Amino acid sequence: MPENRAVVYKEPGKVAVEDISYPDLVLRDGPGVNPLNVGRKCQHGVILKVVSTNICGSDQHMVRGRTTAPSGLVLGHEITGEVIDVGRDVEFIKKGDLVSVPFNIACGRCRNCKERNTNVCLNVNPDRPGSAYGYVDMGGWVGGQSEYVMVPYADFQLLKFPDKEQAMEKILDLTMLSDIFPTGYHGAVSAGVRPGSTVYVAGAGPVGLAAAHSAQLLGAAVVIVGDLNVERLAQARSFGCETIDLSVHSNLAEQIEQTLGIPEVDSAVDCVGFEAHGHGQGHSEAPATVLNSIMEVTRPGGKLGIPGLYVTGDPGAVDTDAKIGTLKVRFGLGWAKSHTFFTGQTPVMQYHRDLMMAILNGKAQIAKAVNATVISLEEAPRAYADFDRGVSRKFVIDPHGLIH
């Protein structure tokens, strides 16, 4: 049986690459596994040899100690791999298939899955609707920043690439289908972006850049990206976005007016989430800043896409309310402007096939937009540290040296 190594969360600010068990088709006990999930049989699942697995900003929240993630949790929910073993009940996925794994774990059988709301599957997480690999309070499914991983409900979930050789040529784009490309796209779609729209994207991290690129794919006339990080703003400008340096400018509406001639946009997308900072010099953490600012600058009747992560437990929050996800949001402003809010995990399966076709046919260059950077599994701890410092890269882990 092959060995298996993985990226493991140790304590705030520290991850390590360690030996873990080779996966089988049973969810066994371990860090973060809900007791009701222990021993769960997964003959509907497959074992993947991981071809690529990405470091996500959501992982970084845990590594910073901003969640209740337990020590020893195997990280990683952005997974692309080759099928090397299939369960007894798998009918259509075959050994040798190269597949993208939606980060949402979904059974395909419950009411929500049948209604395409795979982000809130009712059967995979005893704690709450919805689940993900290698993530706190998500049922304990083992993460995929590893050499090998088990994926349940394979026939329903997996997106098979039609041609393996063609897929490997575009693997740096296709690896983004597991999460950030559908997440950014969902943010733009749920914000109502359409041809001719003006769009403000809060945050120039990988998801923000994916949302900006998605807005362009949807035909937006102008995409404006705001951030506190000048390197990430430069990356947004590299593919045609307007930018606002929020470390200097505290008045977002005024800056938007300088670009558009009016102080508002048609649509806005929050790609920051609960660790948001205030705007202007001397800024500090103020978690409701982005939500309040996008209400301020979005036109009456507009929509707000909110794929940025918000949590119900944040031990490092700035105040008692924020520790349980209670924020001082100007809901009255949103009500007065008849805004529509879209929140929650992205239902990846609603989008990943269309986005795959856009990649394979040269219509989307998501790897370039997010500055995809390949690293080995052993380099993951350094990459986490670099990402935490704000480098403008999307780190893609190549556990087996298959990406050329």
pLDDT of residue 322 exceeding 80: yes
- Grade residue 1 by pLDDT with cuts at 50, 70 and 90: low
Tell me the pLDDT tens digit for each residue of 134-187.
999 999 999 999 999 999 999 999 999 999 999 999 999 999 999 999 999 999
∠ Cα 213 157 29 (to 5°): 110
Residue 214: which of 183, 252, 173, 242 has the closest Cα?
183
Residue 243: which of 232, 254, 360 has the closest Cα?
232
Neighbours of 388 (CB within 10 A): 12
Contact 107, 115 (CB under 8 A): no
Contact 81, 36 (CB under 8 A): no
Look at residue 341 in the predicted model and tell me its pLDDT: 95
Name the CATH superfamily, with its identifier, for domain 5-179+348-397.
Answer: Medium-chain alcohol dehydrogenases, catalytic domain (3.90.180.10)
Residue written as token pair 């430069």: 234
pLDDT of residue 93 exceeding 80: yes
Whether this model's pTM surpasses 0.85: yes
Cα 195 to Cα 216: distance, rounded to the nearest angstrom: 9
Tell me the pLDDT tens digit for each residue of 228-267.
999 999 999 999 999 999 999 999 999 999 999 999 999 9
* Segments making up each domain of the chain, as ranges: 5-179+348-397, 181-343
CATH fold of the domain at 181-343: Rossmann fold (3.40.50)
Tell me the pLDDT tens digit for each residue of 14-58.
999 999 999 999 999 999 999 999 999 999 999 999 999 999 999
Mean per-residue pLDDT, 353-381 = 98
Mean per-residue pLDDT, 334-338 = 97
